[in-house]
Amino acid sequence: MRLSPRALLISAACGSVALAAAAQSPAFGAPAPAPSAAERRVQVVMVNFTDSSFPDAAGTEKLLKNAYFGGSESLTSYYNEVTRESTRFVPAGNDGDDGDDGVLGPIDLPMAGAGCDSGKISDLTYRALADRGITEDDYEHVSIVFPNEKTGCDYLALGTVGGGTTWMPIDGADISMTALVHEFGHNFGYSHHMRERCSGTDLASCELSDDTSHKTPMGGGGWRAGLTSPELIHSKWLSGAEAVRVDKSGTYTLRSLYGAGDGVRALDIPVGEDRLVVEVRGASGTLDQGISGVHAYRVPKGSYAKSALVDTTPDADHWSDKGDPDADALAVGTRLTDKANRVEVKVVKSGDGAATVAVSLDGVPAGGGDAAGGLAERGSGSGSGDAAGGGARAQGEG
């Protein structure tokens, strides 16, 4: 089923959202292909309102070209680095201006900006694109940029989850790169990334909290943080040799998630109906300068896009831009257990961008030797079908 990027929505600060998926329309539909698609065309659309407009449209257009498609410090450069160029954002080429720069407008919409009617903004924008002969065959993403002077939006930015639309209210002089990267993450199907607070190392003691993980742009980590390994698995950006689905007890050596070279980057461990994904993080390139150490994430019922950090250090409250990079990491000697499912995960060694992790399944000891890698399966992610009913929903960055 092809997904529409459009959604009718009510959004509040901090990402609280209610919505109803819009009906599919041949004129307005903007399907998002499978998350692993190598090239994704982005149509950026600048829009004006009857009560507000961009004071310097040419300057804003230049800003947007750099923010979306620049060679560095851009949406494109971020996802190039995170995916190791498995996915590339490119300008949609049917804008009628320069032919291939991907930025169209500004288009004057017949509506006031006051009240921030996001559904109406997107409806009129897609109608304007269709009137210009720009259809769903010309893009995978439509990013609607509008002046924030009169709108009063209660979100910093907004994006459909599993769809292809983003809403970016800006003042014309600057754009939040964290918000931009975050909303395109929603387009890939990622939910807000949260934190489970655990009173001990038994997974039964963990409860989902209202706190974000700080390990990804989807969880308050900022755009200098990479994505988590469950998010990469969801989008099929880790191979089976890199994200090993553990099917037997063993001891495994992991390398840093974004470090150079080959090797195992994540362990995907069965825990009853859920999965537990273990990774080691460390600075690499422009990513993860403030994140290090071994981290584990609970994946509820195989929904990798909805994983949550397992935090056994509830007083650490590490942020990627302050505090020790490994403040909430799993220390050497830590044993995560699930007694009901007879699973134990122990951090044997950690440091210098690598870690040794012992996994015991069904009560069978891990042993001391390095496992062969378990069952290697490529594409163990949940694909793009996380949205209820296969439709697109929207979440905002407050």
With 0-12 CB in 10 A as exposed, 13-18 as middle and 19+ as buried, what is 202?
A: middle
Q: Is the pLDDT of residue 5 over 60?
A: no
Q: What is the mean pLDDT of residues 306-326?
A: 77
Q: Is the pLDDT of residue 35 over 50?
A: no
Question: Are 331 and 351 spatial neighbours (Cβ–Cβ below 8 Å)?
Answer: no
By percentage, how much of the chain surpasses pLDDT 70? 79
Question: 């439509």: which residue's tokens?
Answer: 142
- At 325 the pLDDT is 79
Q: Is the pLDDT of residue 346 over 70?
A: yes
Three-state DSSP class for 136?
A: helix
Given pLDDT bands bounded at 50, 70 and 90, which one contains residue 384?
very low
- At 101 the pLDDT is 82
- At 239 the pLDDT is 94
Q: What is the mean pLDDT of residues 113-129?
A: 97
- At 371 the pLDDT is 54
Look over the chain and give the mean of its residue pLDDT values, rounded to a whole number: 84
Domain map (residue ranges) of the chain: 7-189, 194-361
Given pLDDT bands bounded at 50, 70 and 90, which one contains residue 261?
confident
- At 253 the pLDDT is 97
Of the listed ranges 23-32, 104-113, 121-130, 364-373, the least confidently predicted one is: 23-32
Question: 């993860």: which residue's tokens?
Answer: 288
pTM for the full predicted model: 0.85
By percentage, how much of the chain surpasses pLDDT 90? 73
- At 42 the pLDDT is 97
CB atoms within 10 A of CB 347: 22
Q: What is the mean pLDDT of residues 112-127?
A: 97
DSSP 238-273: S-TTTEEE--S-EEEEEE-TT-SS-S--EEEEEETT
Q: Is the pLDDT of residue 14 over 70?
A: no
- At 324 the pLDDT is 75
- At 320 the pLDDT is 55
Task: Please give the residue that has the higher pLDDT: either 368 or 170.
Answer: 170
Secondary-structure class of domain 7-189 per CATH = alpha beta
Question: Are 165 and 157 spatial neighbours (Cβ–Cβ below 8 Å)?
Answer: no
First to last CA, the chain: 30
Q: Is the pLDDT of residue 32 over 50?
A: no
- At 111 the pLDDT is 98
Q: Is the pLDDT of residue 2 over 90?
A: no
Given pLDDT bands bounded at 50, 70 and 90, which one contains residue 173?
confident
For the chain, how long is the longest CA-to-CA vector?
Answer: 69
42-56: pLDDT as tens digits: 999 999 999 999 999
Question: Are 196 and 308 spatial neighbours (Cβ–Cβ below 8 Å)?
Answer: yes
- At 327 the pLDDT is 85
233-249: pLDDT as tens digits: 999 999 999 999 999 99
Three-state DSSP class for 105?
A: strand
- At 74 the pLDDT is 97
Number of H helices, E strands in the chain: 5, 20
Question: Are 334 and 356 spatial neighbours (Cβ–Cβ below 8 Å)?
Answer: no
Q: What is the mean pLDDT of residues 140-152?
A: 96
Rounded Cα distance between 236 and 297, Å, is 17
Q: What is the mean pLDDT of residues 304-320?
A: 82
Rounded Cα distance between 176 and 382, Å, is 29
Give the CA distances from residue 218 to residues 2, 17, 188, 224, 226, in Å, rounded to whole numbers and listed in that order. Answer: 24, 15, 11, 12, 10
63-90: pLDDT as tens digits: 999 999 999 999 999 999 999 999 999 9
Give the sign of the dihedral formed by CA 100, CA 106, CA 110, CA 115: positive
Q: What is the mean pLDDT of residues 173-190?
A: 96
H or E segment and range at residue 184: helix 177-187
- At 171 the pLDDT is 87
